[in-house]
Structure 1
Amino acid sequence: MINLFENLDVESTDFLRSQLFANLKIPSVVINDDGFLPIEVDSPFKFYCGFGDENTPLYFNRLKVPEFHRIVATASKGEVYDLYEKRADIFFLATDNTRLIKEVHWLDKNGNLSWIDHYNRQGKLFAKTYVNNGQQVLKRYFNKDGKEVITQYLVSGDIFLHEENNERYFANLAQFVTYYLRKKKYQLDHIFYNTLNQSMMVSLGLQNDGSDTLFWHEKITNDLPGNMKYLMDNSTRTKHIVFQNYVDWQTWKNKLPNDKNVDFRFLGMIYPHPRGNKMRPEAVILTNSDQIEHLDEVVQAMPNIHFNIAAITEMSSKLLAFKKYNNVRLYPNATTKQIQELYQTSDIYLDINHGNEILDAVRGAFEQNMLILGFENTLHNSQFISSENVFKPNEVDKMADKISDALSDTNNMRELIDEQRLLAGDVSVEQYKEVIGDLRNE
């Protein structure tokens, strides 16, 4: 049995972490390696590139650039200039002001993307993607000695593996992954996968007996995905489809057929909750801009709430002006430690800032069992916010009433937090073990 993820995105990470919380030890393979996979997660590209386990990412000012070029950087992004002409954009691993390099996008004289340098957790150049007229056409992977080990033609899908002085050809990525899985002698009797793209293709390509499970986390709009219908209508290795989105499961569970080639069930994620909500009148807003929806009205409508507004950058004079309110405390250039302390001492999170979300703010508030509220036009991660806690921009008074009611009644707050967790698909360790155990035994 293995987990086969196409990418180690947030959902795949949650899936893997849920298994760890439940003490389920299942080998995990990620098809597309971005260079920063955890040590315990395997990948065909990671295997053939052969880098070690050390964790020494490249800091932005250590990037080698041509003579007379200069690097400028903010907390979230860097740039390379030749005098006043921009030659590259630098993308960091995270937006937490650590400024560790993940990719460098080099530009031609006209400012168009020419190629991408990919760096890994060892701070080494492990891949290079070439771009033609805006389209990524070729990707080369290198080992620790700088020797090319994999050539991937991104348009046709062809892959060449340069292995032990031999060159092996694969018509597509799924064939390459299957070759790797068999070479590493993984047990392929049951595959857990969570996309209907490459990982599904690997499952379909395995001819030996097996019983696979699709874990489906993506939002379903009006109809089931075409490839999911294919699994329903045809006899394949995939015998089970597990919905991970609770709201979608409630919508679809009575519409799904019982006489198809797969069965359906629900299983959410295990989220850590190190503490309960203590009903303190302390609210947090994380932002990297001064564009906070109706902040004046929010602060004035709730004089009994203490608002902690933090940013990992400098604050504008517009935002600094809120120091005039007795119930507002500002944290410009906040450190990770300061923000962690705010999350420990606060019980309300307001997702009301425009612009990008920083430090997975909503997710962090959810795991701390903070009551999360927001406006329709400012939501960053609606999965963790109950729809009844989302307001129109002109409904500041309704938001204030909801917070007041929650803080004045223990039972009310408990119900709101329980609903918040239920809608996010939060399940217990016992529930998780039971469903996974059933799948493994079927």
Structure 2
Amino acid sequence: MLNLFERNDQKTRDLLYSLKQAGFERPTVFLEDDGWLPPECESPFAYFAKQEKSGRPRYFNEIKVPRFWEIIGDNRQASIGFYGQTKAKIVYAAPKEKRWIKEVKWLDPAGRTRLIDHYDQYGHRFAQSVCDEAQKPIVKTYFDAKQHEVLVQNFVTDDLILNQGEQILTFKNLTEFMLYYLAKRKFSIEQIFINSLSYPLFVLLKLPQTGNDVLFWQEDFQGNVPGNMEMILNGSVPRLKKIVVQDAKAYQTAMQLSNNSPYFENLGFIYEKKRENGQRKQIFILTNSDQLEQIKTLSAQLPEFEFHIAAITEMSQKLMDLGHQANISLYPNIAPKELAKLWQQADFYLDINHHQELMQAVRQAFENEMLTVGFENTVHDRHFIAPENIYAPEQVEQMVQKLRRAASDRAYLATLLKAQKKQAEVGSVAMYQTVLGG
């Protein structure tokens, strides 16, 4: 039993969490390693490099630079400079507000990225990429804990070179390398879950053809069934028995395009539920902007509510002036403990801040079973907000009425929360076990 996933993105992590909640505990392997894999997961690159899983993320100003060079950063990005010339750009890991280093992109005199140092969640430089003039990575080298080269992946020729001490092994492509790795690890492969039609599928095609594999499809359909998926539908991948489409609309499209193929199933994600909604008249807003749509109208017309507005940096005078209103509390430079308290304390979230969303706030509100409402010109993540809870700015009066009724009518609030879960296409343990045979 094995999960063979391609990349470490949010949908893959959501799938991994859903599978665990449904009782499908199994080793998880990623074919791409960004250095920030879930701790219980591994990649073939980290395995052969014997990379350490100890330490902490490296902060943006903890890069060693030559004398007189300087590192400048804010909550979005950082750079390394020397007398006005940018020598490197620092890419943050999520959440960006923590200013943890994920990549350092070193620039040539023309300002093009030519070298990328990759840092992991333990603060180690685990890999380095060389880029061509078009700033496209052409070679990536992985290091062990002592910064010795262990593995070189060539994106131009597709080959990989593995240094095993006294033995140097060459693989024609990633598929061949993965097969060697799987043989070394001796995983059970009678059922493999994949979520990509790329290399994970290519690996399946090279394995013994007796299996009970499942493809989790997490993308849309662009007017037709992808060619590699057609292979599955016509029986050319006998190991693979089901295609689980994780978006309801995409599932309907799949059924139409395939004439209701029995291969297709639909499963949403199982999301973490951190608490119940207490129907308290506490509203939370997390922002990095002083532009909060209709905030004065909302706070004036909802005097019975307490508004908590937090920022992880200093607040502008415009925002600080809101603190003069009796039902508004401000939290500039909010500390992590205070922020965690607000997530627990408030039962309503207003997604009304313009510009960047902080710390996946809408998703966090959803996981804390807060009712989220917002405006058309401010909402950040519609996946977790029911369409009927998104208003035009001039419809602020209707938003006010909804919040007031939701805070006084428990049945009405329950209906709104149910619609919110429907929008997020929440799956269940029972559904996973039925579809996957748990």
**TM-score normalised by L of structure 2:** 0.92
- Give the SS at the match of 1:90: strand
Q: Indicate if the aligned counterparts of 1:247 and 1:423 stay in contact, CA closer than 8 A.
A: no
Q: Indicate if the aligned counterparts of 1:58 and 1:123 stay in contact, CA closer than 8 A.
A: yes
| 1:238 partnered with 2:240 | yes
| 1:175 partnered with 2:169 | no
**In structure 2, how many angstroms separate the alpha carbons of the residues matched to 1:369 and 1:53?**
33
Q: Indicate if the aligned counterparts of 2:267 and 2:427 stay in contact, CA closer than 8 A.
A: yes
**In structure 2, how many angstroms separate the alpha carbons of the residues matched to 1:296 and 1:198?**
53
Deviates most, 231-240 or 23-32 = 231-240
**In structure 2, how many angstroms separate the alpha carbons of the residues matched to 1:363 and 1:155?**
39
Residues 254-300 of structure 1 show CA distances to partners (whole Å, capped at 9, x for unaligned) of 76534x5x622122222222322121221111111223333334334
Q: How many residues end up aligned between the 2 structures? A: 436
| 1:335 partnered with 2:339 | no
CA apart distance, 1:209: 2.0
Deviates most, 248-257 or 188-197 = 248-257
Tell me what 2:53 maps to: 53
Q: Which amino acid aligns with 1:410?
A: R
Residues 285-339 of structure 1 show CA distances to partners (whole Å, capped at 9, x for unaligned) of 1111223333334334433332211111111122222223222221111112111
**In structure 1, how many angstroms separate the alpha carbons of the residues matched to 2:240 and 2:409?**
48
Residues 48-103 of structure 1 show CA distances to partners (whole Å, capped at 9, x for unaligned) of 11112213332333211122212222234322111222211222333364333221
Alignment of 1:390-409 (within 5 A): 390-409=390-409
Tell me what 2:209 maps to: 208
**In structure 1, how many angstroms separate the alpha carbons of the residues matched to 2:72 and 2:383?**
36
Q: Which amino acid aligns with 2:247?
A: N
Tell me what 1:120 maps to: 120
Specify whether residues 206 and 51 from structure 1 end up closer, same or farther in structure 2 by C-alpha distance, changes over 3 A only: same
Deviates most, 424-433 or 215-224 = 215-224
Deviates most, 277-286 or 218-227 = 218-227
Specify whether residues 301 and 205 from structure 1 end up closer, same or farther in structure 2 by C-alpha distance, changes over 3 A only: farther
**In structure 2, how many angstroms separate the alpha carbons of the residues matched to 1:334 and 1:247?**
39
CA apart distance, 1:7: 1.2
Tell me what 1:294 maps to: 294
Q: Which amino acid aligns with 1:239?
A: K
**TM-score normalised by L of structure 1:** 0.91
**In structure 2, how many angstroms separate the alpha carbons of the residues matched to 1:344 and 1:55?**
29
Q: Indicate if the aligned counterparts of 2:254 and 2:264 stay in contact, CA closer than 8 A.
A: no
- Give the SS at the match of 2:14: helix
CA apart distance, 1:375: 2.0
- Give the SS at the match of 2:437: helix
Deviates most, 196-205 or 282-291 = 196-205
C-alpha root-mean-square deviation of aligned residues, in Å? 2.3
Q: Indicate if the aligned counterparts of 1:76 and 1:94 stay in contact, CA closer than 8 A.
A: no
**In structure 1, how many angstroms separate the alpha carbons of the residues matched to 2:351 and 2:208?**
49
Q: Indicate if the aligned counterparts of 2:97 and 2:359 stay in contact, CA closer than 8 A.
A: no
Give unpaired runs (5+ residues) of structure 1: none
Tell me what 1:265 maps to: 265
Specify whether residues 95 and 274 from structure 1 end up closer, same or farther in structure 2 by C-alpha distance, changes over 3 A only: closer
| 1:422 partnered with 2:422 | yes
Tell me what 1:142 maps to: 143
Tell me what 2:165 maps to: 164
CA apart distance, 1:179: 1.9
Specify whether residues 295 and 248 from structure 1 end up closer, same or farther in structure 2 by C-alpha distance, changes over 3 A only: farther
**In structure 2, how many angstroms separate the alpha carbons of the residues matched to 1:214 and 1:411?**
39
Tell me what 1:14 maps to: 14
- Give the SS at the match of 1:395: helix
Deviates most, 167-176 or 98-107 = 167-176
Tell me what 2:28 maps to: 28
**In structure 1, how many angstroms separate the alpha carbons of the residues matched to 2:374 and 2:90?**
32
**In structure 2, how many angstroms separate the alpha carbons of the residues matched to 1:178 and 1:293?**
54
Q: Which amino acid aligns with 1:235?
A: S
Alignment of 1:290-369 (within 5 A): 290-369=290-369
Q: Indicate if the aligned counterparts of 1:270 and 1:432 stay in contact, CA closer than 8 A.
A: no
Deviates most, 302-311 or 355-364 = 302-311
CA apart distance, 1:252: 5.4
Q: Indicate if the aligned counterparts of 1:79 and 1:86 stay in contact, CA closer than 8 A.
A: yes
Specify whether residues 374 and 157 from structure 1 end up closer, same or farther in structure 2 by C-alpha distance, changes over 3 A only: farther
CA apart distance, 1:349: 0.9
**In structure 2, how many angstroms separate the alpha carbons of the residues matched to 1:311 and 1:400?**
24
CA apart distance, 1:234: 4.1
Specify whether residues 354 and 170 from structure 1 end up closer, same or farther in structure 2 by C-alpha distance, changes over 3 A only: farther
CA apart distance, 1:226: 4.3
**In structure 2, how many angstroms separate the alpha carbons of the residues matched to 1:6 and 1:55?**
25
Deviates most, 6-15 or 244-253 = 244-253
- Give the SS at the match of 1:42: coil
**In structure 1, how many angstroms separate the alpha carbons of the residues matched to 2:222 and 2:378?**
21
CA apart distance, 1:122: 3.3
Specify whether residues 201 and 269 from structure 1 end up closer, same or farther in structure 2 by C-alpha distance, changes over 3 A only: same
Q: Which amino acid aligns with 1:325?
A: Q
Tell me what 2:197 maps to: 196
CA apart distance, 1:10: 1.2
**In structure 2, how many angstroms separate the alpha carbons of the residues matched to 1:315 and 1:162?**
52
CA apart distance, 1:247: 4.6
**In structure 1, how many angstroms separate the alpha carbons of the residues matched to 2:358 and 2:179?**
38
**In structure 2, how many angstroms separate the alpha carbons of the residues matched to 1:249 and 1:2?**
24
- Give the SS at the match of 1:334: coil
**In structure 2, how many angstroms separate the alpha carbons of the residues matched to 1:222 and 1:342?**
44
Q: Indicate if the aligned counterparts of 2:28 and 2:42 stay in contact, CA closer than 8 A.
A: yes
Deviates most, 168-177 or 364-373 = 168-177
Q: Which amino acid aligns with 1:202?
A: V
CA apart distance, 1:372: 1.0
- Give the SS at the match of 2:318: helix
Specify whether residues 395 and 253 from structure 1 end up closer, same or farther in structure 2 by C-alpha distance, changes over 3 A only: farther
